[in-house]
Structure 1
Amino acid sequence: MKVGIYGPRGHDPQGPHIRDEIYVIISGTGTFVKNDERRPFQPLDLLFVEAGATHRFEDFTEDFATWVLFWGPKGGEMLSTSFKN
């Protein structure tokens, strides 16, 4: 797992990632775009992005910051077949 704080300024240049990720919004508001879906976000929202999904933050306030957590195998959890109960 890899954890960090992400806070772009002006625009969000990111593209798809090779691992699943979760964002936990720390501060700010704006719009989150994933594939063809758009939704507003605010502090304490949790956003899931599956590996390979196109996503970005738009129209966010200057104080925007989020925790970002990457984990799992390349390609995302759905490709892993080693999980057993």
Structure 2
Amino acid sequence: MAGSYLTFGLDQLQQKYAAAQSPYNEFLRRRGMSVGLYNLPVGAEDKQTPHMADEVYFVVAGRGRLRVVDEEIEVKAGDIISVDHGEDHQFSNVTEDLQMIVVFAPPDLPDEE
């Protein structure tokens, strides 16, 4: 079944977006979800606002903190965090460059297909 799947190598995605201006770079969009690479270097200010979609962060590398509404948790490589749509959340105190794969379901922005 050619064309029924895609594969992505983390190394290739890291190289592709190494010089990107935006910290978030979507690399896959489907009707029910989108997936992107989110990079926050040490000391970065996370400027995201609440989304209209549920999302899951898979922390590939790094260390920092995530505030969701009034709670704050430590995040590190290997952690998987789900944040409900509409909830205020931001990363802070990035002590090691954070690199995350983020899944939005459904896609946060309208499909442009």
Q: How does 1:25-44 map to 2 (within 5 A)?
A: 25-44=59-78
Take 1:22 and 1:69, find their aligned partners in 2: how far apart are those partners?
5
Higher gyration radius (CA): 2
Specify the alignment match of 2:51 in structure 1.
17
Specify the alignment match of 2:39 in structure 1.
7
Length, aligned pairs only = 74
Q: How does 1:35-74 map to 2 (within 5 A)?
A: 35-72=69-106
Take 1:33 and 1:46, find their aligned partners in 2: how far apart are those partners?
14
CA contact (8 A) 2:59 2:78 kept: yes
Higher relative contact order, structure no. (Cα contacts within 8 Å, ≥ 6 residues apart): 1
Identity %: 35
TM-score scaled to structure 1, two decimals?
Answer: 0.80
Take 1:44 and 1:62, find their aligned partners in 2: how far apart are those partners?
14
Take 1:56 and 1:5, find their aligned partners in 2: how far apart are those partners?
16
TM-score scaled to structure 2, two decimals?
Answer: 0.61
Take 1:57 and 1:51, find their aligned partners in 2: how far apart are those partners?
16
Root mean square deviation, CA, Å: 1.6
Deviating above 4 A after TM superposition, structure 1's stretches of 4 or more consecutive aligned residues are: none
Ranges in structure 1 where 5+ consecutive residues have no aligned partner: 75-85
**One-letter code aligned to 2:100:** T
Ranges in structure 2 where 5+ consecutive residues have no aligned partner: 1-32, 109-113
Take 1:59 and 1:73, find their aligned partners in 2: how far apart are those partners?
28
Take 2:39 and 2:99, find their aligned partners in 1: how far apart are those partners?
4
